[in-house]
Amino acid sequence: MKIITSIFELNKEIKDYKNVGFVPTMGGIHAGHKSLIKASQNKKSKTIVSIFVNPTQFNKRDDFKKYPRNIRKDIAILKKMNVEYLFKPSAREIYKFKAKKFNLKKKDKILCAKFRTGHFEGVLNVMNRLMTIVKSKDLYMGEKDYQQLYLIKKFLSKKFKARINSCPTVRVNKNIALSTRNKLLKTNSLKKAAEIALFLKKIKYKSKLHGPKLASNLSDYKKKLENKYNIKIDYLEFRDEKNLKLNNFKSNYRLFVAYNIDNVRLIDNF
């Protein structure tokens, strides 16, 4: 595996390759990331994985500082998976050129965008830069960060004529979604998160039979979860998969949740 830190070096290395898959990450490589890499490897002759903890998408400085990092372990995993290229740029390298800035409209300030001011503007900013640099026509991203996936498709896929390939969320014991942030949780909180995920999966299943009625009772379920597990839930909502509008249960939909446990913010969808 070749580790590349500069845009010049990356462009020089991949200029002759057209069949390249791109997996953008912030490190903390886990089974979810591995599934994205394997999806790329199954279709592409070369795969580029980026590791860059983007400071502009953290709306709290402490959150940026404590974000789990273990570059040695990440490199070892990627080498074992036979990844051809690791792009590991500095913030100075990523932000050294001018690029379009994105501002979300009021209709897009829902779910996490409502509670994390500037977060998705930062995500779109850095993804716009990474896609400009890497120039891959195929990106592989997970469905756990579904709103992120939706916004990148909406704002960037057409601009770069790129396919944003979405891959299913990978879960531990079929319940808790894998996330780098899970490493910040205590054992007891991981157990609670797994129980919460199972509870929400049951709600989603029941919604197929009693959709509108169940949706009207979500505030009661929210309070029940908060009291039982001593957590703070930002949102618990059914939304349409295609446009993220509040769902009418006449099209494909998901149950979205974000909550804080052990001062760690977790998101999921079912």
- What structural domains does the chain harbor? 2-171 (3.40.50.620), 185-265 (no CATH)
What mean pLDDT is predicted for residues 8-33?
Answer: 93
pLDDT at 45 (0 to 100): 87
pLDDT-derived band at 17, boundaries 50, 70, 90? confident
Q: Which residues contact 137 (CB under 8 A, 6 or more apart)?
A: 160, 161, 162, 163
Residues 197-210 have pLDDT tens digits of 999 999 999 999 88
HSE (side-chain half, CA atoms, 13 Å) at 183? 11
Best CA proximity match to 83, nearest among 52, 40, 114, 54: 40
Residues 86-113 have pLDDT tens digits of 999 999 999 999 999 999 999 999 999 9
What predicted TM-score, i.e. pTM, was given to this entire model? 0.94
Q: Which residues are tagged catalytic? A: 33
Give the separation between CA 149 and CA 36, rounded to whole angstroms. 13
